[in-house]
């Protein structure tokens, strides 16, 4: 018996990183998944690996309103219903607030914040029609505290926490629970762009990341995307049946406070 037997879950940004691990874990726990991403080749490869019975890939730019109907239609056609959504897609841009061009700020808002809103608006009615289910929004550690040089990102992730709370209130009567995951630093291309750069020295960048997070994070290391996937599984499964409207921090203790030693 899997924790998600019989469930059909849409996962955005599923071609790599945390979304990929969520897709793998959810399928291992019995779910059928619809994977959306702008990385078509990689997303299609993952869906093929997971198998046609269990997974479909659909091109999805979460910021494009029209793309969402394609996802919902594909899920209905392939699996007959949707009863879960993981809004995971996101982008990060580093810049001092006063140096951030408007276009860059708006790009981050459109993916991280508008994308989350459009996803809930498109998918929640299907979840309600299926008799209820779950939505997990991906916020961040930076959705609960400030972080220098990621102003646009932090603003959108605070917004995701706010949207999560409002959606939980408005959708509870339809049997939909809505929660947010708030990861600290997680070892994906977002936190470690060198992983995508064939010219980068992978060993050197891994060593630099290790040293940084050994210092910053009480548990002494960067998180793994599989660990975030297990939290998303908890919030999508019946294990969290009395939980809604909450941001869940998964950060190795980074946000716990300041340690002088
Ligand atoms: N890695 C971290 O340290 C960290 C920390 C806190 C929160 N997060 C959040 O976790 C989520 C997943 O990030 P990740 O760490 O796996 O990073 P990642 O960059 O490896 O993966 C992000 C995925 O989202 C996809 N994506 C980007 N823009 C999209 C769009 N417009 N439409 C659809 N898909 C799009 C990318 O193609 C990619 O597959 C993001 O929301 C991110 O903000 C990450």
CB atoms within 10 A of CB 151: 21
pLDDT at 260: 84
Determine whether the shortest distance from the Cβ of 186 to ligand 1 is under 6 A: yes
| Domain 8-184+224-250, CATH number (from 3.20.20.140, 3.40.50.720, 1.10.1370.30, 3.90.700.10) | 3.40.50.720
> Catalytic amino acids?
153
pLDDT in tens, 52-76: 999 999 999 999 999 999 999 999 9
Statement: residue 39 has pLDDT above 90: yes
pLDDT in tens, 138-189: 999 999 999 999 999 999 999 999 999 999 999 999 999 999 999 999 999 9
Domain with CATH 3.40.50.720 in the chain: 8-184+224-250
Query: pTM value?
Result: 0.97
pLDDT at 208: 86
Q: How far is the CA of 173 from the centre of ligand 1 (A)?
A: 30
- Which secondary structure element, helix H or strand E, spans residue 11, and what is its range? strand 8-12
Nearest partner of 13 among 142, 150, 127, 137, judged by Cα: 137
pLDDT at 210: 86
């Amino acid at each position: 018996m899997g924790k998600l037997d019989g469930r059909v879950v849409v996962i955005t940004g599923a071609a790599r990183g945390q979304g990929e691990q969520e897709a793998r874990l959810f399928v291992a726990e019995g779910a059928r998944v619809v994977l959306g991403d702008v990385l078509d080749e990689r997303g299609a490869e993952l869906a093929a690996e997971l198998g046609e019975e269990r997974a479909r890939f659909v091109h999805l730019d979460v910021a494009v309103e029209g793309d969402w109907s394609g996802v919902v239609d594909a899920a209905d056609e392939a699996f007959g219903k949707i009863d879960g959504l993981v809004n995971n897609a996101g982008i990060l841009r580093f810049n001092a607030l006063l140096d951030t061009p408007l276009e860059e700020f708006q790009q981050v808002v459109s993916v991280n914040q508008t994308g989350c809103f459009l996803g809930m608006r498109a998918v929640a009615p299907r979840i309600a029609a299926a008799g209820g289910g779950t939505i997990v929004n991906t916020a961040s550690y930076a959705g609960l505290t400030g972080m220098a040089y990621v102003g646009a990102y932090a603003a959108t992730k605070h917004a995701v926490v706010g949207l999560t709370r409002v959606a939980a209130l408005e959708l509870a009567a339809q049997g939909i629970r809505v929660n947010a995951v708030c990861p600290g630093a997680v070892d994906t291309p977002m936190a470690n762009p060198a992983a995508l750069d064939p010219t980068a020295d992978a060993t050197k960048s891994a060593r630099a990341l290790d040293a940084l997070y050994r210092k910053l994070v009480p548990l002494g290391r960067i998180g793994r995307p599989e660990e975030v996937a297990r939290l998303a599984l908890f919030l999508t499964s019946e294990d969290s049946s009395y939980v809604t409207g909450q941001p869940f921090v998964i950060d190795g203790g980074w946000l716990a406070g300041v340690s002088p030693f």
